[in-house]
Each structure stands twice: as structure tokens, then as C-alpha cells.
Chains A and B, each alone.
Chain A
């Protein structure tokens, strides 16, 4: 039914992603398709890593850990953004196009007032991406 799954991950808040990660792993096993974990970072030092290279290393370790834990075929992809607070949606759309994934599994918070003005990232993808988007709350 699907070819591959893309899972956006925020390494700073990886603890809040558990439900989305479990769901992605279950779907991966069910359809026997690979998962690609996508992380977005700025070139400047951040909480997760000092440099994009360090970030790539941590993301890869995260992917390997998921693969070992769930017994799935996993890869990782880093996107470097000049202005991640704003460019996140576009960066994710680009990652979907680049990886050829046809299912996005993504954690999102419960919508509140700001979502009436600015769409949440998951909301944006569900609206604009041409692939299936599974939003986990």
C-alpha cells in the first residue's frame, strides 16, 4: 500500500515523540516498508548539537536505536535551515519530495488559539502535502 514512511523528529523533545515513534514502527512492520527519520537544525549551535555534523551524528544514532529497538529498516536525513522557526514546513515538504516517502507519521500538540492564525506544522503538512499524513496526538 505504501512505499516508505517519513517521521519528522525534534531531538530536543524526543521524549514527547514516543507515541508517534511507536505508531511509525508498527506501520513499518505491518507494511514491511522502511522508515526515514528527518531532523531539522540551524547551522548555529543549538541545544542538541554544536554543529550540523554533530547533529547528523546524533540523528543517525537515534535512527539506529529505533531500528534496533523495533526491528525495522530505518534511515535518517538532516535538513539544515537558515531560519528553522519559520522554514520548518518548507523544509519538511522538501524532505518528503527528496526521500519519495508516501506516508508521514508526525506528532502534534492539541490545537489551541494560535492554530487559528498560524497552522501547526502537522496541520500545514496535512493541508499542503500530496502524500498521506498521519497526525498523532
Chain B
């Protein structure tokens, strides 16, 4: 492959010369009627483990529930400092890349041109990166932090309030609640995605290595990344992606079910959720079979339009002025509380920093292979600086605005209008109860449910594309039945986890795959900087 006549990427770039041929370990054969093209150990090990996992969890639901119930708190309370510290490293690295000369490096070589317009690019990365979470937590998280902060006893060891809380002071509790929410949805998650995406893009587009996780570690392990070291990294990435996705799918099913119950009286229960996951996975299948441009991109754009409509509606008919000023107040509150919230050591708010923050960080990290790979696949032609500003800063600002519009409005309903219903509603219902206090509640709640479902589909279809690429040794043109396999198994894992322990099981799965992957990512940061330094600028 590395013959002397290799034209370089467009313009100067630092191509890595290696004897590894993309797809050399792949098995190309026929399985029954279908042609397959899979990476040998990676597909087998991850595929068989996932199948075994689904069977085990479904067969032994009681035992599984006990294990998962213990696992999540065990990991988040033991390793909270590690998750918090690692996330800080990612943010600092991203900010450094914006201001240092390394920001001039262009993905795909110095003369490469971008594949997608800003709007298509932005819609895809945002829909993949946050999706269902914004719907689920947009109202419920600010309210949770607000009410735990304002409550009597905030700041005591039993309290779930962030930092010391603000007992009896609604104004300060509101600032703290919004700051804590934005902290979980702002710079830190996007920094995690940005690091992964940039590393994947750099080693694939500029260095000419396969679009797979192992390629990032070439500067660390050399040609050993093509052996078992690399297999383990890729398999970890597959697990993290599947379980991170399944967690979100679980949240989505929970909320869609609650919303449908609220609007149409559809019964809440496992049967409804399983049917929802099945139906939505079927739509995702259509989307992956239609491909990246005809399926995934189009759905992401529809989603962005719907989400923007809902946002504009809430801003227009809700407390518009309060949202506009709240946006800046919340940004200031975020900046003010950021150092204390991101401090990994000596925290007195164990419930918050372990139960919320380190769970979030683990969840974002377990999502990062998927979102990162997806962002990488659509980001060729951008410079590092442009990439970091667009992937880190703009989505963070959009998240702040979203949280202000939805969470801020809901807190306002409690504080100013004495609307307690939104405080008392279950987590997955808070969005709908908040919308109920605004005009046209029937229509907006329905749009809310549609959004949850479409976000669900866009996560599931892009996730299957990513897992398919990893398990095909970095090939993006593997036969279509392979993506169908992964899309189906994403749905099955979500169902298995929901039945074997519900949301606790989903969260435990995300957290336990997030932990080893955090170590992998820290090593990846070093490889990324090393790779960038050798690029011509």
C-alpha cells in the first residue's frame, strides 16, 4: 500500500507510512445469502459478547437487576475524582488547540475543502451529540438542582444540592441550579467529543490510517495497534458505543411512553416501552439502509427544524424577556461556579458530584466513540481551530440557550407563578407539565414526543454506522446487512437492559464501559498532540 507513488492528501500532510493494509484482517465471505466483510477478532468478540449479554440479561432478570443496581454507585463513587479530572483535561486541551498554532492544521491536508455546508454539518453533529438528553433533562435537571438547592438542609451530606446549595434563597438557588445544569451540558461534554473526533479525523484523513479507534494510538504503540492491543481498543469502543446508546434509548423510551400516557392515556409499562423501542428501531433500520445522505442527514435536519420550532415557541409565548436576560445571567453563573463544580478533589457534595456529575461524564465518555466517529466522518476539510470553535463553543452556547428556555422557564413557573405541578411531576414528565402551562399544550407536547422519537432514530442509525465501521476494520463500504445487524442489536440491548433493571441497569452499563474508555482517551490526548505537531501548518 505504501508504494512510492502515493500522492499525499490534498496539499502537504504528514502521512504515516505503514505496511498495514486497510481490511487486511477482514473476512470477506458469504454467510447464507448475504455477503459479509468484517474485521476478524473485533466483530466476532464484540458480536458474540453482545448476543451473550442480551441472552443473559433477559434470562436472569432478577440477578441482573441486583448486579446493575450495585455497579453504578460503586463505580461513580470510587472513581468520581478520576472522571472529573479527566474531563477537565479534555476541556483544557481543546481550549489550548484553539489558541495555539496547532489550530492551523487542516483535516484532510492543507488544501482540502469541506465536504458539508455549515448547516448540514452542524445539524448532524448536534443531533448526534445531545439528542434525547436535551429533551429528557431540559426541564427536569434544572428543576432538580433548583429544588434540592433551595430546600432546607441543602449542603448537608444527605442533600443532592450542587456545592453548598442555597437553602431558603430562591434567587441564588436558581443561579446555582442553572449553572450546574449548564456545567453538565456545556464545555465538558463537547470537549470530550471534540478530542475523540479530532483524533479520529486527523489519523484517518491526514495520516492515511483506517477510520478506527486503534489508529489514534499509532504514535503510542506503533505497528502493535494492528494486533491485539488495537483489537482491545476497538472492542472497548464498540461496547462503549452500544451501552452509551442503549442508555439514551432507555431514557427516550421512558419519556416517549410517559408523554404518550400523558397525552393519549397509553399505558405505562414494559410492554409499551418494548413496543416503542421496536417500532423506533424499525424506523432506524430504514434510515441506515437509505444511507448517510438520504437517511441520517435528512432526519437530522428535520430534527433540527422541529427542535428549533419548539425552542422558538417556548421563547415567544413563554417569558421572552426573562429568557433573553436569563441567557446572559446563566452564562455568568456558569463561569462563576465552573471552578468549584469541576474541582475533582475534596468535594462535600458527594450526592451531586458522584450521582450527577460523574455519571454524566461517564455517559458522555461512553458516547464519545460514536459521536466522535460520526463528527469525524463529516468534518473533513475543516481546520483544527474552526473545528474546535464549531464543535466546542457553538453547541455549548446552544445548550445554554436551550436549558435557559426550558429549565429557566419551568423554574420561573415555580418561583413566580407558584405552579407546583412541574416540581412534583416525575422526571420524564416534567417537560410535558411545563408545556401544559403554556398555550397550545396539546400541539407542543405532541411535537415534544415526535422529537424524542426522531432523536432516538438519529442516535440509533448513526450509532449503527459507527459500530459497523469499527467492526469492519475501518471500512465505510461494508455490506449493508452488517449495519442492519447492529441497528437491531442496539434495540435489543436497550430492551434487555430495560427489562433487567430499568434505568439503573442502563446507567450502570454506560458507566462501566465509560471507565476503561476514559483511560484510553487520556492516552489518546497525548497521541493527538503528537500527531498534530508533526503536521505541516
A and B bind? yes
Q: Which residues of A contact B (CB under 8 A)?
A: 42-47, 50-51, 53-54, 56-57, 82-87, 112-114, 118
3 tightest Cβ-Cβ pairs between the two chains A and B: A86-B291, A50-B208, A113-B33
User: Is there an interface contact between A51 and B9, defined as CB atoms closer than 8 Å?
Assistant: yes
Asked if B262 is an interface residue, CB under 8 A from chain A, the answer is no
User: Is there an interface contact between B9 and A57, defined as CB atoms closer than 8 Å?
Assistant: no
Asked if B154 is an interface residue, CB under 8 A from chain A, the answer is no
User: Is there an interface contact between B476 and A46, defined as CB atoms closer than 8 Å?
Assistant: yes
Asked if B395 is an interface residue, CB under 8 A from chain A, the answer is no
Give, as a whole number of angstroms, the nearest-CB distance from B1 to chain A. 8
Which residues of chain B from 1 to 45 have any CB-CB distance to chain A below 8 Å in the complex? 1, 5-10, 15, 21-23, 32-35
Complex CA–CA separation, A45 to B210 (angstroms): 6
User: Is there an interface contact between B10 and A84, defined as CB atoms closer than 8 Å?
Assistant: no
Chain B, Cβ-Cβ closest to A55: B7
Asked if B503 is an interface residue, CB under 8 A from chain A, the answer is no
* Residue from the list B7, B32, B294, B480 in contact with A54, Cβ < 8 A: B7
Residues of chain B contacted by A44 (CB below 8 angstroms): 204-205, 210-211, 377, 474, 476
User: Is there an interface contact between B7 and A84, defined as CB atoms closer than 8 Å?
Assistant: no
Complex CA–CA separation, A87 to B478 (angstroms): 12
With A45-B209, A45-B211 already in contact, the answer to whether A50 and B9 are too (CB < 8 A) is yes
Complex CA–CA separation, A24 to B380 (angstroms): 36
Asked if B477 is an interface residue, CB under 8 A from chain A, the answer is yes
Give, as a whole number of angstroms, the nearest-CB distance from B2 to chain A. 9
Give, as a whole number of angstroms, the nearest-CB distance from B229 to chain A. 20
* Residue from the list A47, A57, A86, A113 in contact with B480, Cβ < 8 A: A86
Give, as a whole number of angstroms, the nearest-CB distance from B466 to chain A. 12
Residues of chain A contacted by B294 (CB below 8 angstroms): 86-87
Give, as a whole number of angstroms, the nearest-CB distance from B427 to chain A. 37
Name the residue among B21, B204, B292, B477 with the largest chain A CB count within 10 angstroms. Answer: B477
User: Is there an interface contact between A53 and B476, defined as CB atoms closer than 8 Å?
Assistant: no
Chain A, Cβ-Cβ closest to B34: A114
Q: Which residues of B contact A (CB under 8 A)?
A: 1, 5-10, 15, 21-23, 32-35, 108-109, 115, 204-205, 208-211, 289-294, 377-378, 380, 465, 474-481, 483
Residues of chain B contacted by A114 (CB below 8 angstroms): 33-35, 481
Complex CA–CA separation, A82 to B115 (angstroms): 9
Name the residue among B8, B32, B291, B479 with the largest chain A CB count within 10 angstroms. Answer: B291
Known: A57-B5, A87-B293, A87-B294. 13 other contacts (CB 8 A): A43-B205, A44-B210, A45-B210, A46-B23, A50-B15, A51-B108, A82-B292, A82-B293, A82-B377, A85-B483, A86-B480, A87-B291, A113-B33
Complex CA–CA separation, A44 to B115 (angstroms): 12
Residues of chain B contacted by A83 (CB below 8 angstroms): 291-293, 465, 476
Residues of chain B contacted by A56 (CB below 8 angstroms): 7
Chain A, Cβ-Cβ closest to B376: A44
Residues of chain B contacted by A57 (CB below 8 angstroms): 5, 7
Give, as a whole number of angstroms, the nearest-CB distance from A92 to chain B. 14
* Residue from the list B10, B109, B475 in contact with A47, Cβ < 8 A: B475
* Residue from the list B7, B35, B289 in contact with A86, Cβ < 8 A: B289
User: Is there an interface contact between A53 and B22, defined as CB atoms closer than 8 Å?
Assistant: no
Residues of chain A contacted by B291 (CB below 8 angstroms): 82-83, 85-87
Complex CA–CA separation, A83 to B477 (angstroms): 7
Complex CA–CA separation, A54 to B7 (angstroms): 5
* Residue from the list B6, B23, B115, B465 in contact with A50, Cβ < 8 A: B6
User: Is there an interface contact between B33 and A112, defined as CB atoms closer than 8 Å?
Assistant: yes
With A44-B204, A47-B22, A85-B478 already in contact, the answer to whether A54 and B293 are too (CB < 8 A) is no
Chain A, Cβ-Cβ closest to B26: A47
29 contacts between A and B (CB under 8 A): A43-B205, A44-B204, A44-B377, A44-B474, A45-B211, A46-B477, A50-B6, A50-B9, A50-B15, A51-B7, A51-B108, A51-B109, A53-B7, A56-B7, A82-B377, A82-B378, A83-B292, A83-B293, A83-B476, A84-B477, A85-B480, A85-B483, A86-B289, A86-B290, A86-B480, A87-B291, A113-B32, A114-B34, A114-B481
Residues of chain A contacted by B208 (CB below 8 angstroms): 45, 50-51
Residues of chain A contacted by B23 (CB below 8 angstroms): 46-47
Residues of chain A contacted by B483 (CB below 8 angstroms): 85
User: Is there an interface contact between A51 and B10, defined as CB atoms closer than 8 Å?
Assistant: yes
With A43-B380, A51-B109 already in contact, the answer to whether A85 and B21 are too (CB < 8 A) is no
Give, as a whole number of angstroms, the nearest-CB distance from A56 to chain B. 8
Residues of chain B contacted by A112 (CB below 8 angstroms): 33
Chain A, Cβ-Cβ closest to B473: A47
Chain A, Cβ-Cβ closest to B381: A43
Complex CA–CA separation, A107 to B37 (angstroms): 20
Residues of chain B contacted by A84 (CB below 8 angstroms): 476-477
Residues of chain B contacted by A86 (CB below 8 angstroms): 289-292, 294, 480
Give, as a whole number of angstroms, the nearest-CB distance from A9 to chain B. 14
Chain B, Cβ-Cβ closest to A53: B7
Residues of chain A contacted by B377 (CB below 8 angstroms): 44, 82
Complex CA–CA separation, A57 to B6 (angstroms): 8
User: Is there an interface contact between B380 and A85, defined as CB atoms closer than 8 Å?
Assistant: no
Complex CA–CA separation, A76 to B380 (angstroms): 25
Residues of chain B contacted by A47 (CB below 8 angstroms): 21-23, 475
Complex CA–CA separation, A47 to B483 (angstroms): 20
With A43-B115, A45-B211, A45-B474 already in contact, the answer to whether A85 and B479 are too (CB < 8 A) is yes
Give, as a whole number of angstroms, the nearest-CB distance from B399 to chain A. 27
